[in-house]
Every structure is written in C-alpha cells, then in structure tokens.
Amino acid sequence: MDIQHLVKMANQIGQFFASYPDHDEARRSIGEHLKKFWAPAMRKALAEHLASTGEQSGLEPLVAEAVRASISDQIGAGAS
C-alpha cells in the first residue's frame, strides 16, 4: 500500500469537505467518509503514518484533524 497515494486521496477528500462553512462538520464528514469508504487497513496505514511523521505527513491540517479525531473516537469506543 503506497502511503503517498493514500495521503493524496485523503487530501482530495479533504479539499471537497473543506468547502463546508462549519469546520467541525467538515472534519466529521472527512472522518465519516474515510470510515465508510476506506478499508480498515487503509485507515490504519494513514493513522500510523500521521502518528509517525506528525506535521511532515503531507496531510492537510483539516485531514490530519479528522484522522486524529477518528483515532480518538475508536479509543473512546473501546474503553466503554
């Protein structure tokens, strides 16, 4: 799985949702799209890439926020 291709696709999704007037809605929508249409292995690879590279990930800030939020949601769901 080519991480640069995943980053490019995630940023394209982010560009679409970035036009939403509400920042939080845009972030949630990106996360929902990734969860709905991306295989778990793709999401995991993207999350691991972001965790290991931080701001150097190549992800747009809004997309990085969405990925981090979805990781937090998964951790929170597992804790209950």
Q: Domain residues for 61?
A: 3-79
pLDDT value at 78 more than 70 = no
**Sign of the C-alpha dihedral computed for residues 47, 48, 52 and 53 taken in this order:** negative
- For 21-31, the pLDDT digits (tens) are 999 999 999 99
What's the DSSP call for residue 55? Answer: G
Most confident of 61-65, 66-70, 73-77: 61-65
Q: How many domains does the chain have?
A: 1
State the number of CA atoms in the 13 A half-sphere of 73 facing the CB: 12
Q: What's the predicted TM-score (pTM) here?
A: 0.88
Residue type, 22: D
pLDDT for 80 equals: 45
pLDDT value at 77 more than 60 = no
Count helices and strands (H / E) in the chain: 4, 0
